[in-house]
Amino acid sequence: MSSTTPPLTRASVVEAHERIKPYIHLTPTLTNTTLSDLASTPQSKDALRGTPWEGQEPAKPRIKLFFKCENFQRIGAFKVRGAFHAVGRLSEGERAKGVVTHSSGNHAQALALAAKTFSIPAHIIMPTISTPSKIAGTRSQGAHIHFSGSTSEEREAVVQKVIRETGATFVPPYDHPNIILGQGTLALELQEQTERLIEGDKRLSVEVGKGGLDAVIAPCGGGGMLSGVATALSGTGIKVFGAEPSFEGADDAKRGVEAGKRIERVKTLTIADGLRTPLGELTWSVISDKEKVHNLYSVTEKNIKDAMRLVLERMKCFVEPSAVVGLATILYNEDFRRLVEKEGGEEGWNIGVAFSGGNTTVEAISKIFAAPEERAERAEGVVGKDGERVAENVAG
């Protein structure tokens, strides 16, 4: 992308927000009494059986939840924020030559939409083995599809070829300042919407604690959203946490931070298919900074399924599994719950929860919930949201 990129500061996120506002939805921040009550109820000792917390007294955190619903965002996910910011910051000359990326998911669709909006070409590199529905979906956004093999080397070769031939600018899915700053804009909205909701409660004489958020938790795959949220909230006093699936080593960010070294390769088929990617260099630098991301937590496939059922059946929000990993942490990770009990005390914590998106299908949900627990843990029944085979994921 353009060689002049803004620094990773809250001010840059505010600037990014001004730039992309006309193109994105102001998604709602919702509350839900049932879920806040559940989060504030100690888990049963039975629930802790067979976990690292077995035999301990369950934590008693007091929690009020504020859900930022990016499943209602354009293309059904937060990814349009980064894409519109990246395209919006290109010079006229750069823009004319178009943009290119490799992705078979939400980022490809988001970039295609941004390119269409600016009337410039979008080149999307997709593996030949992608499902026809996904190819058709991206093509219907007006993007040019280029096919590649499934390895990162084959993919990269096609990207370079497109750049040579067209002069298009590469827009990576997460590891770039413009993407990170774009994704971070959701945290500005979440912060302001939460304050307004609490202000409204005060007017209705509903008993409220503090006037704003104490913490925000965001899912972490490649780390674009989490880095953006951490950048946006840096210096506000609001603590930022990351959440990952633990299945088959998908908690690469957590393990990397614990070991003090980025994990560059991940091979997992967690049902949270948006979180199968390792961190990039830039997102690692933000997420491993304790001043920016307070801590990382992981949850099981069962935790994710249980949280997803609650969001679907109680909140009536249609979300993808990746979206609920933060909520699953709040509900079921005793380490996190202990922290809130300790730091929140009597007054408790107002926690913002970023729902990343809602791009899944009725069939994918049926499969996830039809799989018996052990099988879900082995994930054989849930190979990608559309049956696509997932090769080893490499940061990029």
> Can residue 271 be called a binding residue for a copy of itself (CB under 8 A)?
no
Nearer to a copy of itself, 312 or 391 (CB): 312
CB of 151 to a copy of itself, least distance (A): 31
* Paired sense of beta strands 169-170 and 265-266, if any: unpaired
Residues sharing a CB contact under 8 Å with residue 82, sequence separation 6 or more, in sequence order = 107, 110, 174, 178, 179, 180, 181, 182, 183, 224, 228
Residue 148 in 3-state DSSP? strand
Among 108, 225, 233, 315, binds a copy of itself (CB under 8 A): 315
Q: Which DSSP state fits 2? A: -
> With binding defined as CB under 8 A, does residue 369 bind a copy of itself?
yes
Distance CA 275, CA 22 (A): 28
Instruction: Indicate which single residue of 182, 224, 228, 358 sits in contact with a copy of itself (rule: CB under 8 A).
Output: 358
Residue 363 interacts with a copy of itself (CB under 8 A)? yes
Q: Report the sign of the C-alpha dihedral through residues 26, 75, 184, 21, in that order.
A: negative
In the complex, minimum distance from the CB of residue 6 to a copy of itself, in angstroms, rounded to a whole number: 26
The reply on whether position 319 binds a copy of itself by CB under 8 A is yes
Interface with a copy of itself includes 215 (CB under 8 A)? no
Is the Cβ–Cβ distance between 388 and 129 less than 8 Å? Answer: yes
**Interacting stretch for a copy of itself, rule CB under 8 A, among 70-78, 107-115, 245-253, 272-280?**
70-78
**Neighbouring C-beta atoms of residue 245, cutoff 10 Å:** 28
Q: By C-beta, is 81 or 155 nearer to a copy of itself?
A: 81
Question: Do residues 320 and 357 touch, judged by C-beta distance below 8 A?
Answer: yes
Give me the catalytic one of 40, 104, 130, 148. Answer: 104
Q: Is residue 91 annotated as a catalytic residue, yes or no? A: no
74-133 residues near a copy of itself, rule: CB under 8 A: 76
Q: Are 65 and 92 in contact (CB under 8 A)?
A: no
Report the C-alpha dihedral over residues 204, 205, 206, 208, rounded to 10 degrees: 120
| Nearest distance, CB of residue 237 and a copy of itself, angstroms | 31
Separation between Cα atoms, residue 211 and residue 363, nearest integer Å: 41
Q: What is the DSSP letter of 289?
A: -
Stretch that binds a copy of itself, among 157-165, 190-198, 252-260, 317-325 (CB under 8 A): 317-325
To which H or E segment does residue 240 belong? strand 239-245
In the chain, what is the greatest distance between 2 CA atoms, to the nearest angstrom? 64
- Residue 377 to residue 303: CA distance in whole angstroms: 11
Coil/strand/helix, residue 208: coil
Segment interacting with a copy of itself, rule: CB under 8 A, options 55-63, 224-232, 358-366, 378-386: 358-366
Specify the stretch interacting with a copy of itself by CB under 8 A; choose among 96-104, 311-319, 328-336, 375-383: 311-319
3-state secondary structure of 171: coil
Residue 228 near residue 181, CB atoms below 8 Å: yes
Question: Shortest Cβ distance from residue 67 to a copy of itself (Å)?
Answer: 12
> Is residue 72 a contact point for a copy of itself (CB under 8 A)?
yes
Nearer residue to a copy of itself within complex by CB, 49 or 369: 369
Is 370 an interacting residue with respect to a copy of itself (CB under 8 A)? yes
60 assigned to active site: no
Q: In angstroms, what is the minimal distance from the CB of 25 to a copy of itself?
A: 10
Q: Which stretch binds a copy of itself (CB under 8 A): 57-65, 144-152, 154-162, 359-367?
A: 359-367
CB of 339 to a copy of itself, least distance (A): 30
Pick the stretch among 185-193, 248-256, 265-273, 313-321 that binds a copy of itself (CB under 8 A). 313-321
Q: Report angle CA 374, 250, 248 to the nearest 5 degrees.
A: 40
CB 283 within 8 A of CB 227: yes
Which of positions 23-62 make contact with a copy of itself (CB under 8 A)? 28, 30
Q: Which amino acid is at 332?
A: Y
Report, in Å, the least distance between residue 108 CB and a copy of itself.
Answer: 18
Chain residues that interact with a copy of itself, rule: CB under 8 A: 28, 30, 71-72, 76, 309, 312-319, 358, 360-363, 365-366, 369-370
**Residues known to be catalytic:** 79, 104
